[in-house]
Structure 1
Amino acid sequence: MYQRILVATDGSELSDRAVDHAIALADLTGAELVALRVVPRYPQTYFEGGVALAAAEVRQIEKQWEDEARQTVNAVKTRAQARQVKVKPLTVKSDLIAEAIIAAAKRHKCDLIVMASHGRRGLKRLLLGSETQQVLTHSHTPVLVLR
Structure 2
Amino acid sequence: MFKRILIPTDGSALSAQAANKGVSFARETGAEVVAVYVTQPFAATVGFDGMAAAYAITDEDYDKTAQQQAQKYLQSVLDRAETAGVKATGKAVSNFNVADGIVQTATEEDCDLIFIGSHGRSGLSRLLLGSVTIKVLSLAKTAVLVYRVKESS
Normalised by the shorter chain, which TM-score bucket? Answer: 0.7 to 0.9
Aligned length: 145
Partner of 1:6: 6
Q: Deviations over 1:86-145 (max 9, x none)?
A: 001110011111111111101111111011113444334224421110111121111111
Indicate how the Cα distance of structure 1 residues 84 and 51 shifts in structure 2: closer, same or farther if over 3 A, else same.
closer
Q: Is the 8 A contact 2:113 2:144 kept in 1?
A: yes
Partner of 1:28: 28
Partner of 2:46: 44
Larger deviation: 32-41 or 126-135?
126-135
Q: Is the 8 A contact 2:52 2:58 kept in 1?
A: no
Indicate how the Cα distance of structure 1 residues 122 and 46 shifts in structure 2: closer, same or farther if over 3 A, else same.
closer
Q: Deviations over 1:55-83 (max 9, x none)?
A: 86332133212211111111211111111
Q: Is the 8 A contact 1:45 1:52 kept in 2?
A: no
Partner of 1:141: 142
Indicate how the Cα distance of structure 1 residues 146 and 56 shifts in structure 2: closer, same or farther if over 3 A, else same.
same
> Whose helix proportion is higher, 1 or 2?
2
Give the match's secondary structure for 1:78. helix
Distance in 1 separating the partners of 2:51 and 2:35 = 34
TM-score (norm 2): 0.84
